[in-house]
Chain A
Amino acid sequence: MTGTTIAIRIAESIPAVPAVPMADVVEATSHWWAGFILWCPLISLVLCGLCAAFRVKSKLPAWITVLSLACSFTFTVILGNLEDVPERINLFEWIAVFWSDGSFVANFALYIDSLTILWMSFVTGLGTLIALYASEYMEPDLGKGYARFFAGVSVFLFAMGCLVMGDNLLMLYLGWEGVGFASYWLIGYYYRRPEAVAAAKKAFIVNRIGDLGLALAIYLIWATFGTIQYNELMTLLDEGTYATVYEHWSVEAIPYLLMLAAFGKSAQLPLYIWLPDAMEGPTPVSALIHAATMVTAGIYLIARMYPFFLLEPTSLHVVAWVGGLTALLAATIGMAQYDIKRIFAYSTVSQLGFMFLGLGVLTTYGASYHVFTHAFFKAVLFLTAGAVMHGFAGQLDLRKLSGLRRMKGWRIVAWTMFVGCICLAGFPFTSGYFSKDAILAEAFVTQGPGFEILGWIAIFTAFLTAYYTFRVWCRVCAGPVHFEPGDELHDDDHHDDGHDEGHGFHPHAPRFAINFVLVVIAAGALLASVPYFMTNEVSDIKGGWIADMVNDSTAASGIPGHAEHPGTIAHDHSGDHGHHHGSILGMDPHVAMYYISGVVGGVGLFLAFWLHLWRRQDADRLRSWLLARAWIRWLPVAMENKWYVDEVYHALVRAPLWLLGHIFHGFDRYIIDGLLVDGTARLPRLVAKWFQPLQNGMLQSYAITMAGGAALIALLMILMMQFFEGGGVQ
Chain B
Amino acid sequence: MTLQLAVTFSQLSLSHYLVMSSVLFVIGLVGFLTRRNLIVMFLCTELMFQAAAIAFVAFGRYWYDFTGQVFVIFILTVAAAEAALALALVVLLYRRRSTLNADEWMELSE
> Which positions in A face B, CB cutoff 8 Å?
695-700, 702-704, 707
Contact = CB atoms under 8 A, between A and B. Distances in A.
B110 A703 contact: no
B29 to A, nearest CB: 6
What are the nearest 7 A-B pairs in CB distance? A697-B109, A697-B106, A697-B108, A699-B102, A704-B33, A700-B33, A695-B109
Interface residues of B, number: 14
Contacts of A695: 109
Given A696-B106, A696-B109, A700-B32, 15 more contacts: A695-B109, A697-B106, A697-B108, A697-B110, A698-B102, A698-B103, A698-B106, A699-B102, A699-B103, A700-B41, A700-B103, A702-B108, A703-B32, A707-B29, A707-B33
Interface string B70-110: 00000000000000000000000000000000110111111
Contacts of A702: 108
Contacts of B103: 698-700
Interface in B33-47: 33-34, 36, 41
Chain B binding surface SS class: helix
A652 to B, nearest CB: 65
B36 to A, nearest CB: 8
B29 A699 contact: no
Contacts of A703: 32-33
A179 B39 CA distance: 90
Nearest to B107: A697
Contacts of A696: 106, 109
Nearest to B108: A697
Nearest to A695: B109
20 contacts: A695-B109, A696-B106, A697-B106, A697-B107, A697-B108, A697-B109, A698-B102, A698-B106, A698-B108, A699-B102, A699-B103, A699-B108, A700-B32, A700-B33, A700-B41, A700-B103, A702-B108, A703-B32, A703-B33, A707-B33
B82 to A, nearest CB: 16
Interface string B3-42: 0000000000000000000000000010011101000010
A707 B36 CA distance: 17
A111 to B, nearest CB: 81
Nearest to A702: B108
B47 to A, nearest CB: 14
Nearest to A707: B29
A702 B34 CA distance: 12
A702 B41 CA distance: 14
A684 to B, nearest CB: 19
A708 to B, nearest CB: 9
A698 B110 CA distance: 11
A293 B30 CA distance: 93
Nearest to A703: B33
Contacts of A697: 105-110
A152 to B, nearest CB: 70
A701 to B, nearest CB: 9
Nearest to A692: B109
Interface centre among A696, A699, A702, A707 (most CB of B within 10 A): A699
Contacts of B102: 698-700
A707 B108 CA distance: 18
A696 B109 CA distance: 5
B22 to A, nearest CB: 12
B87 to A, nearest CB: 16
Contacts of A707: 29, 33
Nearest to B34: A700
A714 to B, nearest CB: 12
B30 to A, nearest CB: 9
A704 B33 CA distance: 6
A696 to B, nearest CB: 6
Given A707-B29, A707-B33, A699 B109 contact: no
Contacts of B32: 700, 703
Nearest to B110: A697
A699 B41 CA distance: 11
A704 B35 CA distance: 12
Nearest to A697: B109
Contact of A699 (B34, B105, B110): B105
A566 to B, nearest CB: 89
A707 B26 CA distance: 11
A702 B33 CA distance: 9
B3 to A, nearest CB: 37
B74 to A, nearest CB: 22
A578 B14 CA distance: 117
Interface centre among B29, B34, B36, B107 (most CB of A within 10 A): B29
Contacts of B106: 696-698
A691 to B, nearest CB: 13
A696 B33 CA distance: 15
Nearest to B109: A697
Nearest to B106: A697
Interface string B48-79: 00000000000000000000000000000000
Contacts of A704: 33
B20 to A, nearest CB: 19
A696 B107 CA distance: 9
Nearest to A711: B29
A699 B103 CA distance: 7
A285 B61 CA distance: 104
Contacts of B109: 695-697
A703 B34 CA distance: 10
Contacts of B105: 697, 699
Contacts of B33: 700, 703-704, 707
A700 B29 CA distance: 11
A157 B29 CA distance: 89
Nearest to B105: A699
B2 to A, nearest CB: 41
A96 B103 CA distance: 78
A707 to B, nearest CB: 6
A669 B30 CA distance: 51
B81 to A, nearest CB: 21
A703 B48 CA distance: 14
Nearest to A699: B102
Contacts of B110: 697
A707 B32 CA distance: 10
A699 B106 CA distance: 8
Contacts of B108: 697-699, 702
A339 B24 CA distance: 103
A698 B108 CA distance: 7
Contacts of A700: 32-34, 36, 41, 102-103
Nearest to B103: A698
Nearest to B29: A707
B106 to A, nearest CB: 4
A702 B32 CA distance: 11
A696 B34 CA distance: 16
A695 B106 CA distance: 10
A698 B41 CA distance: 14
A667 B2 CA distance: 86
A22 B66 CA distance: 97
B93 to A, nearest CB: 11
B62 to A, nearest CB: 20
A697 B34 CA distance: 16
Interface centre among B33, B102, B106, B110 (most CB of A within 10 A): B33
B88 to A, nearest CB: 18
A707 B28 CA distance: 12
A704 B106 CA distance: 16
A692 to B, nearest CB: 10
